Structure 1
């Protein structure tokens, strides 16, 4: 069977939380639960780094506005991670050229990252911090569940990831005006700080 569903799902999940994807795939491979996971992802140094970065993301991703800053920083990191993970998985399977696999994983990661970042901007317009914690926790649980499903049933996982991506795009479109207001407020605060500093 083609590895395409697994590559797409891993890319989608990397756009939400790349460190958790690397950690879960590495652990599933390390404990012999997934033959499709390359040894590179199972190495101790990779697992330790992924664990440390995942723990940092767990905290940063639940703090209003810090989460949006974290997302901005990861606009490059997550698509690259999605592409690399997909290329490594394709290298194990040999059913798809690694460059094509990287394009699939990287593109899926970029789109899901933009959905996540846009959704978070909308959530940050809410006056209370609990919504950030709820959304972030749901994202982490969703990534863990879909990656685990992808290892055992990649087609079903790809279908779920596609549905979530479509819903996410619809939500970002729906909340576009709220996101624009949040960006305007952020620019206004930045301008005010510059004016104060110049005095």
Structure 2
């Protein structure tokens, strides 16, 4: 979230610099929305900490984000992140948590994007809200769908691994967004596109595999039932013979 003016002195106040700055601004706005769809509270909490302790220096066009460094914002987002940290690692509780946040994360992502823009035109605000909300919702959907799939597994370690991995992605994404916002947003969008492209194929493959396993188990189950019925029949015959 630093300015690119220092590296483009030859184009200072020129159209190229303005285009680069706008592209970076849009990338930061949508990038934060994308990460908010994954973990809203960690995104706000981590960004607020880095701003509050001056671990990063906000460029002039990003000064509107300084509100995230307010101690009240940091405290509230930190408490909520702590709750999510534990809820996100318990099977099925994480899916309930995701269901509750189906609206919260997209709205939070849209608000973060608007905050990045600062004072802009109403038309641009509406466009950014739509884009950021959609981006956050897409990330949230990918996260929630992955959790539902992992909850079908009998062991709980996959949930913990996914949760830790998601937190690491948020932290790494924020760092990349700070230094290379356009590259970060490109990676986020490519990852989302890959997920929504491959996820249905994986689900269909799992469904076919499960159906094949069930089909293979049916003859065995039938054979077991037949054997059990024959054993019961033999026992009943033996009892009748003894009674005679």
- Short-chain TM bin: 0.7 to 0.9
In structure 2, the partner of 1:188 is: none
- Count residues with an aligned counterpart: 179
Contact persistence 1:88–1:98 (CA under 8 A): no
Taking a change above 3 Å as real, the CA distance of residues 124 and 57 of structure 1, as seen in their structure-2 partners, is same
In structure 2, the partner of 1:22 is: 44
Contact persistence 1:91–1:98 (CA under 8 A): no
In structure 2, the partner of 1:174 is: 201
TM-score normalised by structure 2 residue count: 0.68
In structure 1, the partner of 2:53 is: 31
What is the alpha-carbon distance in structure 2 between the residues aligned to residue 14 and residue 174 of structure 1?
Answer: 26
What is the alpha-carbon distance in structure 2 between the residues aligned to residue 26 and residue 9 of structure 1?
Answer: 16
In structure 1, the partner of 2:160 is: 133
In structure 2, the partner of 1:10 is: 32
TM-score normalised by structure 1 residue count: 0.83
Runs of 4+ in 1 over 3 A off after TM superposition: 174-179
Q: Which runs of 5+ in 2 are unaligned?
A: 1-20, 211-244
Taking a change above 3 Å as real, the CA distance of residues 175 and 59 of structure 1, as seen in their structure-2 partners, is farther
In structure 2, the partner of 1:59 is: 86
What is the alpha-carbon distance in structure 2 between the residues aligned to residue 107 and residue 141 of structure 1?
Answer: 23
In structure 2, the partner of 1:150 is: 177
Please give the secondary structure, in 1, of the residue aligned with 2:118. helix
Higher relative contact order (CA 8 A, sep 6+): 1
In structure 2, the partner of 1:103 is: 130
1:120 counterpart (128, 147, 168)? 147
Q: CA deviation at 1:34?
A: 4.0
What's the CA shift string for 1:121-170, capped at 9, x where partnerless?
11111110000000111011001100121122101111111122123223
2:114 counterpart (79, 87, 111)? 87
Q: Which runs of 5+ in 1 are unaligned?
A: 182-199
Contact persistence 1:7–1:104 (CA under 8 A): no
Contact persistence 1:19–1:51 (CA under 8 A): yes
Q: CA deviation at 1:51?
A: 0.4
In structure 2, the partner of 1:41 is: 68
Decide which structure has the larger Cα Rg and report it.
Answer: 2
